[in-house]
Amino acid sequence: MEEPKNKTGIIIAVALIVLCCCVLILVAAGVVAYEYYQQITSLPGSADLPFGPPTATPVVEVTRPPVVDVPVDTLETLRTTIVPENDPTELACRLEGTCDIPESMAPPSAPRQTGEQDTFWVTNVESNENFQVMQPCDM
C-alpha cells in the first residue's frame, strides 16, 4: 500500500490550525481575566482586594432620644390636627381645578325594561386586547 506524498503537508496544516486555535483561546482567556481584574479593582474599598481579604465594615449604632424628651407641643399638634377625609371630588377640585364633577351618573332618560342589554368595553390583560361584550342590565 502506498502512502500519499502530501501526508506531511496535511499533518503540518492540522498542527498549525490547532496551534492557532490554542493561541486564540489563550488570548481570549487573558482578555477575560484582565477585564475581571479591572472590575474588581474599580469597586469602592477594593484597593487591597488582590493582596488580602476585604476589610469588614463597622457596625453602625443608632442612638435615639428617650420618649420623655419628645417636645410636648408636637404631641399636642398631632392630637388636635384634623385630617380631612379622602374625598376624590374635593381633591380634584383643590389640586387639579376640576370642580364641577357630578357625584354619580345621570339617571337614564327612560326606565329600564326587563331583558335589556348594554354593551361594555373590556380588556384582556394577558393579551392586552380590548373588545366589547353584551351584558344584561341589573335593575
| Closest residue by Cα to residue 102 from 94, 114, 93, 111 | 93
Question: Residues 40, 44, 49, 55: is their CA dihedral positive or negative?
Answer: negative
Residue 136 lies in a domain: no
**All residues at 6 or more sequence positions from 103 whose CB lies less than 8 Å from its CB, including other chains:** 89
Mean pLDDT of the chain: 81
Rounded Cα distance, 90 and 99, in Å: 8
The pLDDT of residue 37 is 82
Would you say residue 29 has pLDDT above 90? yes
Q: How many domains does the chain have?
A: 1
Residue 61 lies in a domain: no
Residue 36 lies in a domain: yes
Write the pLDDT tens digit of every residue in 35-88: 888 877 766 655 555 555 567 778 888 887 777 766 778 888 888 998 888 888
Residue 102 lies in a domain: no
The pLDDT of residue 101 is 84
Residue 138 lies in a domain: no
DSSP lists the bridge partners of residue 131 as 122
**Is the Cβ–Cβ distance between 70 and 79 less than 8 Å?**
no
The pLDDT of residue 52 is 54
Write the pLDDT tens digit of every residue in 110-125: 888 888 888 888 999 9
The pLDDT of residue 1 is 47
Residue 34 lies in a domain: yes
The pLDDT of residue 46 is 54
Residue 25 lies in a domain: yes
Write the pLDDT tens digit of every residue in 76-93: 888 899 888 888 888 899
Reduced to 3 states (helix: H, G, I; strand: E, B; else coil), residue 134 is strand
The pLDDT of residue 9 is 84
Reduced to 3 states (helix: H, G, I; strand: E, B; else coil), residue 73 is helix
- For residue 28, the enclosing domain spans 7-50
Residue 14 lies in a domain: yes
